[in-house]
């Protein structure tokens, strides 16, 4: 069934996914700003949501987003050790493990959720990550939960 859906799309115009990037205020959001200051170009498919810490994002929010049709969710936090709140990012990492199990139940490909560390000085890395994740999602095709 999924195959069929994917095929259906390839015949139409190119699939432009809608991707949410949830970024922590202190490192990743700053890194995203730096990508801008450095005028690094990346795909337009990303919508960034600022949170204070990657550790504050309830798994339900991610599930919600993916089950309501987001094609991908990228969570960005500080590198281990850099967390402004000591270890919120490590909590996010633990939750990611749990999230993958839930995604499996929902029949959502695990590649649609990703957790990455981006520091405040990694504008380049942020831009590359956006490209890479967008490519990944494009190759997966639209979310099975996508509503039209």
8 A C-beta contact, residue 17 and residue 137: yes
Helix and strand numbers, DSSP H then E, in the chain? 5, 4
- Taking CB under 8 A as the criterion, the residue among 5, 6, 7, 27 binding other proteins is 27
Nearest to 54 by CA among 71, 79, 36: 79
- Residue whose CB is less far from other proteins, 7 or 64: 64
| 102 binds other proteins, rule: CB under 8 A | no
| 33 binds other proteins, rule: CB under 8 A | yes
Name the segment binding other proteins (CB under 8 A); options: 6-14, 25-33, 99-107, 134-142. 25-33
| 5 binds other proteins, rule: CB under 8 A | no
The burial of 48, by beta-carbon neighbours within 10 Å (0-12 exposed, 13-18 middle, 19 or more buried), is given as middle
φ, ψ (nearest 5 deg) of residue 22: -100, 115
Name the segment binding other proteins (CB under 8 A); options: 3-11, 46-54, 101-109, 133-141. 46-54
- Taking CB under 8 A as the criterion, the residue among 2, 4, 8, 60 binding other proteins is 60
């Amino acid at each position: 069934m999924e195959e069929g859906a994917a095929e259906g799309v390839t015949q139409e115009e190119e699939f432009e996914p809608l991707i949410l990037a949830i970024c922590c205020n202190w490192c990743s959001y700053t890194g995203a700003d730096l990508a801008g200051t450095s005028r690094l170009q990346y795909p337009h498919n990303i919508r960034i949501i600022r949170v204070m810490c990657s550790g504050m994002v309830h798994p339900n929010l991610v599930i919600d987003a993916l089950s309501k049709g987001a094609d991908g969710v990228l969570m960005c936090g500080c590198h281990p050790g850099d967390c402004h709140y000591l270890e919120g990012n490590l909590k996010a990492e633990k939750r990611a493990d749990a999230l993958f199990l839930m995604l499996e139940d929902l029949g959502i490909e695990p590649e649609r959720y990703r957790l990455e560390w981006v520091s405040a000085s990694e504008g380049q890395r942020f831009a590359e990550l956006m490209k890479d994740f967008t490519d990944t999602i494009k190759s997966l095709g639209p979310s099975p939960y996508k509503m039209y």
